[in-house]
């Protein structure tokens, strides 16, 4: 089945996904802050770039799949939550896209979103739009204007809503579907 990368492979959903894939003879490159082949902090731009470069190196420039499970929830610093859950996911999607296009026919991506996108009230459009525009500074400024602990729930839901919207907007595009990459969110 080839080689896939899984973010958040050290625990939770990512670890369970890894175990399942390896039981089906899939070569897995784990990415996590610890206990993974690639140890990188996806909450920082440097960590994201290290994860991308190391994944490309380990995969020989060609991936057959990517599962983005890395993420944190409440209680957690809202800005760091947004950095990991959204900016970390988006940068890895974009940074590994070309290697997925070189993978086996119809490579796949599963990006983890959340039902919080539909049950959390009052998610500021400005925050989600700043995420989709890749404007970390504006996103953090919007978070600064929210009261605690509401800011944690909003940051989580906004990060996962941005993932869902990114996938909806990009999955049918030439960059993704046109290159034989199935882009999905769950």
- Name the 3-class secondary structure at 165: helix
Cα–Cα dist 69/111, whole Å: 7
The one catalytic residue among 108, 140, 156, 166 = 156
Cα–Cα dist 127/93, whole Å: 20
Instruction: List Cβ neighbours of 150 (8 Å cut-off, separation of 6 or more).
Output: none
For CA atoms 47, 89, 31, 62, the dihedral sign is: negative
Distance (Å) of CA 82 to CA 13, 20, 103, 132, 179: 19, 28, 29, 12, 29
Closest CA to 37 of 4, 85, 73: 4
166 is catalytic: no
Closest CA to 68 of 114, 35, 122, 104: 114
Please provide residue 4's backbone torsions phi and psi, each rounded to the nearest 5 degrees.
-125, 160
Residue positions annotated with a catalytic role: 156
């Amino acid at each position: 089945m080839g080689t896939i990368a899984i973010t958040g492979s050290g625990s939770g959903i990512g670890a369970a996904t890894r175990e399942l894939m390896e039981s089906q003879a899939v070569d897995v490159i784990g990415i996590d802050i610890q206990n993974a082949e690639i140890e990188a902090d996806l909450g920082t731009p440097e960590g994201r770039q290290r994860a991308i470069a190391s994944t490309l190196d380990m995969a020989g420039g060609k991936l057959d799949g990517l599962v983005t499970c890395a993420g944190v929830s409440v209680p957690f610093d809202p800005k760091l939550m947004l950095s990991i859950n959204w900016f970390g996911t988006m940068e890895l999607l974009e940074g590994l896209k070309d290697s997925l296009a070189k993978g086996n026919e119809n490579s796949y991506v599963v990006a983890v979103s959340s039902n919080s996108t539909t049950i959390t009230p009052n998610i500021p459009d400005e925050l989600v739009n700043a995420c989709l525009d890749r404007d970390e500074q504006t996103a953090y400024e919007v978070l600064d204007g929210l009261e605690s602990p509401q800011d944690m729930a909003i940051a989580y839901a906004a990060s996962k809503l941005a993932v869902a919207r990114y996938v909806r907007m990009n999955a049918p595009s030439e960059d993704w579907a046109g290159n034989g990459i199935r882009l999905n969110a769950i």
